Amino acid sequence: MSRQSPLIYSLLLIAILINITEQKRHLKIGGLFDKNKEETEHAFRLAIDLINAKHTSETIHLQSVVQSVDSRNILAVSSATCSLFGLEIVGLFGPNSSPGGASKHIQALCDNKEMPLIEIHWDPNDGRNNVINLHPHPEIIEDVLIEILQAYEWKKFTIVYDDNESLAKINKLLVYKHNEYSFGLEELDKNEENYRQIMYKIKKQGDTHFVLICSVETLEKFFKQAQQVGLLVENYHYFIYNFDIQTIDMETYQYAGSNITSIRFFDPNSPKVFEFEQELKDYSNYRFPTRKMISFETALLYDAVNLFHQALNDSRSSNKLNPKPLYCDSDYTWEEGSSIINIIKMKEIDGLTGPVRLDSKGFRTNFDVQLIELNEINWITVGYYNYLEKKLRITRKQENKDQQSDENSLRNKSFTIITVLTPPYGQLKDTTTQLYGNDRFEGFGIDLIHELSLMLGFNYTFTLQKDRANGNYDRKRRKWTGMVGAVLSGEADLAIGDLTITSEREEAVDFTLPFMTLGIGILYRKPKPVPPSLFMFTSPFSGEVWLLLGVSYLCVSFSLFVLGRLSPAEWINPYPCTEDPDHLTNQFSLKNSLWFAIGSLMQQGTEIAPIGISTRMLAGVWWFFTLIMVSSYTANLAAFLTVETLVTPFKNIEELATQKEIKYGAKANGATVNFFRDSKRDIHKSVYSYMMNNQDLMTNDNEDGVWKVENENYAFLMESTSIEYVMEKNCSLTQVGQRLDDKGYGIAMKKEAKYRQLLNSAILKLKENGKITSLKIKWWKEKNSGDCDSVVSKGAVTALTLQNVGGVFLVLGVGTFMGLLMVFVEITFKSYKRSKKEETKFKQEMREEIEFFLKFKKSVKPIKFSNNSVESNAETVDNMDNFYNESR
């Protein structure tokens, strides 16, 4: 053992080193970019480097392999795609423009090979199997445009465009809405430097409203010349349809007096983008050429790579990912590609371009579009289009109007505001002194109303919804209950709390913009470590490996026995002093072969040494086998004994719904249960019918649900912000799985309430200046007593208990006992044989053996000679042979 130890340890070390280096998976991702768009290609490489550098501790390390092609040449695109396939990539990014056929062609190739394709360009096509596109879908953008035209009451305008693809971007307006608007079309040639003639014509016609759908380069030329021609003065209105407007220097046009409006998907001045630019600068000393700020495409590309990287890291099978070279002329596909796409579709990240979430078709969902106007300082946000609400809400313009008109001001107005006692949105102050009026309450909602009152100047009185019901439509009584009912009956002007904005409620009352966004999650106990078992020492190998090990041991022992008998070298002279022995002996009896093999398997060795080449070869191979097996066993055993494996009984709503042991429920008559009622998905329907059939599992409020989770085998369907709050307080609880939907909390008021816009813009301001975030931190973290961060993290090395190694003791005990039993069998057998041979009594033989055994002082045993001398001689030889063989 001791001679083998250094070797075993060095092999173990090598195995561990190999393991460490292997833990970092180097996965290649392909990029296919247009030759003329070097900036995007550069951004792609940098995004990968930056993400690798930021996530050094994660297992996936991405490598870029890039091809630049002329995207109009379909043949070149096709061969570049095929050559990337051959490089064992796990995903393909690009193309970075929408070169019509080329994009479709790449999509078809990727579909064919099941290769994930991640796009970031404007693409009006419907989703394909293996394609995801981070660019907001053109249909949504067209809806936004039409909403803007309506909000600004534009009926007559001129559309200025610089290529045919630009016109495709407003297809809805041109084809379906042309009856509602009167518009003319003006084309600007991208390659032309002088647009002044066209501008004079426009000016003569008296056009004052323009929708500009042009590239950044054309826009730069256009504005410069429009100023010279006198088209950038008061009364002129421009709407720019280009998401890279931040990259144009508009400083000289800020004072021109024209109204210039546009939309954007991300704020280039946000701290997040600033931080990204900083990181990029620190990492690579790279500055975006000639542009002041990063382009939309770069931001999308970074988000795309980040999403892909996080999805690969999340995927539990990422270590098993087996990228292989694919050839366009073979039928081979890469099945794992589709599952990567599915994981990406389930993933959500907070990217530079806002929350990145995809629908089942692989398109962006749940994002905000900002309506921006150029004022004398910069671009400012004046409204939002919310993907979920499908509505444009103008904030700044309305606010100005409202501020001017005293009649709409909230100054000195008094509101009765109803709330529920659902911590931390609203709760009673924990004090021994008697409090009255508003003083009795505290919480996030109470603070939010206070902030709004400071901004808008209104007074308020809080009342309480005693039954803690937020509001549900009672179909039998045809009446709204809870806070919504109170607002409708006039009992309260406003309702605040964890009041979810739902389409059903929106039909009865109006809501402000959401002040908090959330989704349904599952609250459950944190996964528990698997309890140690007595036979944990068997865990390093699976059952079949143990079985095969046993079979191999028997086979090798038997082979040794056979080889030993066949090999002439193994037949040796038992009496070396005799030159011509009358017989030869062989050490590889079946018993000895079994002993030899088990000796090496246990790393102990025996005195038996093979002599023949064949037996030595077999013994060598067996030793090698045992060396690897024992090293693997030792390494794996160490991991099994020290690392705790965690078990979660379910990972998502599907698994929760299909099991029987864990009960689940939600708050009765709340938005959560109504989500399951209205959902079209079968699994949600079955969850709803389960809840309806088990009314005892439904709770009156969140606190009841949390209590059940803590004390029963129960999972509570709860809104994610409330789950976050509970998790801060109770470290043993957690959210299982992803959110099931996206929604928000709003303040409810009667329909057509005049103060809605004022509240909306005040809420937006509170969001923008970070007040809402700090209120959330105050009520979720600072005022929450739990301190889960300080809970000792898992994975610390702990001493092994008897539960971990008890099985080994058990095996030792059983083995010793079996040995004792065997010795009695041996004695019995020997006495029996002897009694037969010597024709004596078996009992007597047995007695003699036992009597000798009991004389503990005697350590020499006399040989009993046989009555028959011939037999006696033969037996002596036999005995000596046996003695000789057995002692080896």
| 214 lies in the site for ligand GLU, by CB under 6 A | no
Q: Which is nearer to ligand GLU, 67 or 502 (CB)?
A: 502
Quickly tell me which residue has 């054309």 as its tokens. 218
Each residue 716-755 as x (binds ligand GLU by CB under 6 A) or -, in order, gives --xx------------------------------------
Q: How far is the CB of 748 from ligand GLU (least distance, A)?
A: 10
Concatenating the DSSP letter of every residue in 315-378 gives: -TTGGG-------TTS----THHHHHHHHHHH-EEEETTEEEEB-TTSBB-S-EEEEEEE-SSS
> Is 497 or 540 the residue whose CB approaches ligand GLU more closely?
497
Question: Cα torsion at 326, 332, 336, 342 (round to 10°)?
Answer: 100
Sequence length of the chain is 888
Angle between helices 336-346 and 296-314 (to 10 degrees): 110
CB of 422 to ligand GLU, least distance (A): 8
779 secondary structure, DSSP code: I
Judge contact between 83 and 99, C-beta under 8 A.
Answer: no
Within positions 253 to 312, which residues make up the interface with ligand GLU, using CB under 6 A?
Answer: none
Residue 470 or 761: which CB sits closer to ligand GLU? 470
Q: Which of 800, 767, 791, 522 is nearest to 662 (CA)?
A: 522
Decide whether 303 or 498 has the Cβ nearer to ligand GLU. Answer: 498
In this chain, which of 672, 721, 730, 761 binds ligand GLU, going by CB under 6 A? 672
Which residue, 374 or 499, has its beta carbon nearer to ligand GLU? 499
- CB closer to ligand GLU out of 334 and 714: 714
Does residue 671 bind ligand GLU (CB under 6 A)?
yes
Q: Which CB, 221 or 743, lies closer to ligand GLU?
A: 743
Residue selected from 610, 670, 744, 807 as contacting ligand GLU according to rule CB under 6 A: 670
Residues 638-657: x/- map of binding to ligand GLU (CB under 6 A)? --------------------
Give min distance, CB of 706 to ligand GLU, in A.
12
Closest contact distance (angstroms) between CB of 499 and ligand GLU is 5
670, two tokens: 């709340």
Tokens linked to 199? 């501008």
Residue with tokens 């000393």: 285
**Complex with ligand GLU: residue 133 or 470, whichever CB lies closer:** 470
Pick between residue 452 and residue 706 the one whose CB is nearest to ligand GLU: 706
Where does 404-458 show beta strands of DSSP type E?
414-419, 427-428, 441-442
Sheet holding 494-496, edge to edge: 459-464, 414-419, 494-496, 748-749, 510-511
Of 209, 364, 667, 776, which lies in the binding site for ligand GLU, with binding defined by CB under 6 A? 667
Query: Which stretch, 244-252, 424-432, 662-670, 829-837, contacts ligand GLU (CB under 6 A)?
Result: 662-670
Q: Which residues contact 220 (CB under 8 A, 6 or more apart)?
A: 248
User: Residue 343 or residue 499: which is nearer to ligand GLU going by CB?
Assistant: 499
Kindly tell me which of 422 and 593 has the beta carbon lying closer to ligand GLU.
422
* Min separation Cβ 354 and ligand GLU, Å: 24
Residues in 491-550 at the binding interface with ligand GLU, rule: CB under 6 A: 498-500
Using the minimum distance from each CB to ligand GLU, give the nearer residue, 361 or 677.
677
# binding residues, ligand GLU (CB under 6 A): 11
CB-nearer residue toward ligand GLU: 62 or 499:
499
Residue 702: count of CB within 10 angstroms of its CB: 25
Question: 48: buried, middle or exposed (CB in 10 Å: 19+, 13-18, 0-12)?
Answer: buried
Is residue 115 within 8 A of residue 140, CB to CB? The reply is: no
Q: How far apart are CA 138 and CA 145, in angstroms?
A: 11
User: Shortest Cβ distance from residue 68 to ligand GLU (Å)?
Assistant: 51
Burial bucket for residue 598 (CB in 10 Å: 0-12, 13-18, 19+): middle
Concatenated DSSP letters of 797-863: -----HHHHHHHHHHHHHHHHHHHHHHHHHHHHHHHHHHHHHT--HHHHHHHHHHHHH-TT----PP
Q: How far is the CB of 716 from ligand GLU (least distance, A)?
A: 9
Please, what is the minimum distance in Å from the beta carbon of residue 734 to ligand GLU?
17
Candidate segments 168-176, 219-227, 668-676, 770-778, binder of ligand GLU by CB under 6 A: 668-676
- Rounded to whole angstroms, the Cα distance separating 206 from 452 reads 45
Tell me how far, at minimum, the Cβ of 502 lies from ligand GLU, in Å: 8
Touching ligand GLU, residues 65-104 (CB under 6 A): none
Binding map of ligand GLU across residues 445-484, x = CB under 6 A, - = no contact: -------------------------x--------------
Composition of the chain by helix, strand, coil, percent to 5? 50, 15, 35
The nearest distance, CB 714 to ligand GLU, in angstroms, is 15
Between 395 and 470, name the residue whose CB sits nearer to ligand GLU: 470
Nearest to 773 by CA among 271, 356, 392, 391: 271
Closest-CB residue for ligand GLU?
670
Q: How far apart are CA 341 and CA 362, in angstroms?
A: 8
| Site stretch for ligand GLU (CB under 6 A), options 47-55, 222-230, 318-326, 663-671 | 663-671
Q: How far apart are CA 26 and CA 49, in angstroms?
A: 13
Which range binds ligand GLU by CB under 6 A, 73-81, 552-560, 670-678, 832-840?
A: 670-678
- Residues near ligand GLU (CB under 6 A) are 470, 498-500, 666-667, 670-672, 718-719
